[in-house]
């Protein structure tokens, strides 16, 4: 059975999605004050359709909530994911 985990790479400003010991996805962001700009989400082509991008975004949203950050989604996937969802009003700063 494959173990899926998300690792925070603070230096790079990323959450890395690991499948067993191999990185198969990432979400990149930068922090300025209490703003969290999410600018890139990526999952390996052979891993698409498994919900990994959603897992990364959900993890980033949970991290923002825990740390009282407001998200500015730049990544098109994150913009689409967060748009028109009441669930994210508390953490969404603005959609570009």
Please state, rounded to an integer, the average pLDDT across all residues of the chain. 94
Nearest to 53 by CA among 64, 40, 62: 40
Nearest to 58 by CA among 87, 21, 31, 30: 87
What tokens were used for 86?
């009441």
- Tell me the CA end-to-end span of the chain in Å, nearest whole number: 39
pLDDT tens by residue, 16-48: 999 999 999 999 999 999 999 999 999 999 999
Please say if the pLDDT value at position 94 is more than 80: no
**pTM for this one?**
0.93
Domains assigned to the chain = 4-88 (3.40.630.30)
């Amino acid at each position: 059975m494959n173990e899926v985990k998300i690792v925070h790479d603070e230096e790079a400003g990323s959450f890395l999605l690991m499948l067993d010991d191999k990185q198969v996805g990432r979400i990149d962001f930068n922090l300025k004050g209490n703003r969290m700009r999410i600018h890139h989400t990526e999952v390996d082509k052979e891993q698409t359709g498994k919900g990994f991008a959603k897992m990364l975004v959900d993890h980033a949203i949970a991290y923002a909530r825990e740390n009282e950050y407001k998200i500015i989604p730049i990544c098109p996937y994150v913009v689409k994911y967060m748009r028109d969802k009441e669930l994210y009003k508390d953490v969404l700063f603005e959609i570009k």
